Structure 1
Amino acid sequence: MSNSQKVVIVTGASQGIGAELVKAFRERDYRVVAIARSIKPSDDPNIVTVAGDIGDREVAKRAVSEAVERFGRVDTLINNAGIFIAKPFTQYTAEDYASILNVNVNGFFHITQLAIAEMEKNKSGHVLQITTSLVDHAISGVPSVLASLTKGGLNAATRSLAIEYAKTGIRANAVSPGIIKSPMHAPETHEALGALHPVGHMGEMRDIVDAVVYLDSAPFVTGEILHVDGGQSAGH
């Protein structure tokens, strides 16, 4: 089997934006390693699924090993996995804090470190994080301290990675969404959530997928936090 096709690892790949990203990369003839806690095996021989907690380094190791052993390389890593718990700051529990750090931060650190080590062998690669525009523009009534703490950290880490690896052929970028129509949000909430955006409506999963695909195909773009948020980060 030729290993000239590009290979992407997608975390949080079982539903929502992650599942749409898997489809989009397969449409572009990438081979895919898809990771999620509850993901099922795929009938597509060009998709390998890894079930497990992305915050666990052993799961991250397994995913990168599968990419290399099955497909011969790692070209792109999409750190899509993330959790959001909206609570007043003083009502977060220690368990909430640990869960959010595990997925949003540990889940980024372990697999990114391992994937970049593989990318260095080919002197090329791309790491992309899905963050949130709440980092830049907090919204009254949407308590988001832990999202800002963790996803804001990923924005900063993205810029730092971009500079550290700029001369090695490895790029780092992020897509910073507004509120997106996905299984995470019940349809009856869409009107109210849409009103939180200057454009007056929520985004579609395709908006995020298109932004990710653009950044993955943009060799002169690195260190970019691309806001796909209906104007939220610009103001009201």
Structure 2
Amino acid sequence: MGSQGQKVAVITGASQGIGAGLVDAYRQLGYAVVATSRSIAPADDAGIVTVQGDISDSATADRVIAAGIERFGRIDTLVNNAGLFVAKPFTDYTQEDFASATGVNLTGFFRVTQLAISHMLAQGGGHIVNITTSLVDNADSNVPSVLASLTKGGLQSATKSLAIEYATRGIRTNAVSPGTIKTPMHPAETHQALAALHPVGRMGEVRDIVDAVIYLENAPFVTGEILHVDGGMSAGH
């Protein structure tokens, strides 16, 4: 059980990149953290509980939320960070690509968010943050990405819908819409080309997205916001 009054954040896709950065940031805020991914290792920090599993499997969502309640007694924030990005020409997508992207990006959001909100309602409030992609609002002929737009675009719409549904019940829902971020997903040899996609001429850093999420965490009058952290991509080229 967490210390009296300690808040608890659940972070999906937490083993590397943005997710790992979010775990560190929420711990620095004094939150206990439930961190999940397929390959996450046990944590040395007593304030972190890790849960291995595929978030597209509803049983994983069940285990993640149950672990948070069992260890810490509450759920205050859920960051839906887990995501799968497959960039292909539309007609090259396979049924397996479709199943994988919708599984992680949509099914993975759906069950864990339902469970988290149920606990937030019982305790009187909470916060959901969804990580999307700037390509939802700014399609780019250099990056064919219909599956990302389909799935992460769904998350953006769900963000606004949840914000309104729960606006009077103490639960805020926001999204961060990143450009291309320098994470292990992108090999170093691709960085120059990826930097050129952004009007500012560089890729984003993990800290750029983490800072945006923490801003939203500390902004009680902000809900239903899609916060673009994309080096100007959403403004145009």
TM category (shorter chain) comes to: over 0.9
In structure 2, the partner of 1:26 is: 27
| SS of match in other structure, 1:226 | strand
Letter in structure 2 aligned against 1:188: E
In structure 2, the partner of 1:115 is: 116
In structure 2, the partner of 1:9 is: 10
| SS of match in other structure, 1:153 | helix
| Conservation of the 8 A alpha-carbon contact between 1:199 and 1:231 | yes
In structure 2, the partner of 1:189 is: 190
Letter in structure 2 aligned against 1:44: D
| SS of match in other structure, 1:182 | coil
Mapping 1:1-236, distance limit 5 Å: 1-236=2-237
Give, in whole Å, the separation in 1 of the partners of 2:88 and 2:135: 14
Alpha-carbon RMSD: 0.7
Shift, 1:3, TM fit: 3.6
The count of aligned residue pairs is 236
Give, in whole Å, the separation in 1 of the partners of 2:4 and 2:89: 49
Give, in whole Å, the separation in 2 of the partners of 1:82 and 1:15: 12
Give, in whole Å, the separation in 2 of the partners of 1:176 and 1:3: 34
User: Gaps (5+ residues) in structure 1?
Assistant: none
| SS of match in other structure, 2:199 | coil
| SS of match in other structure, 2:86 | coil
Shift, 1:187, TM fit: 1.2
| Conservation of the 8 A alpha-carbon contact between 1:9 and 1:34 | yes
Percent sequence identity over aligned pairs? 68
Deviation larger for 209-218 or 188-197: 188-197
Give, in whole Å, the separation in 2 of the partners of 1:44 and 1:198: 40
Give, in whole Å, the separation in 2 of the partners of 1:136 and 1:72: 38
TM-score (norm 1): 0.99
| SS of match in other structure, 2:10 | strand
User: Gaps (5+ residues) in structure 2?
Assistant: none
TM-score (norm 2): 0.98
Shift, 1:30, TM fit: 0.6
Give, in whole Å, the separation in 2 of the partners of 1:221 and 1:23: 23
Shift, 1:189, TM fit: 1.2
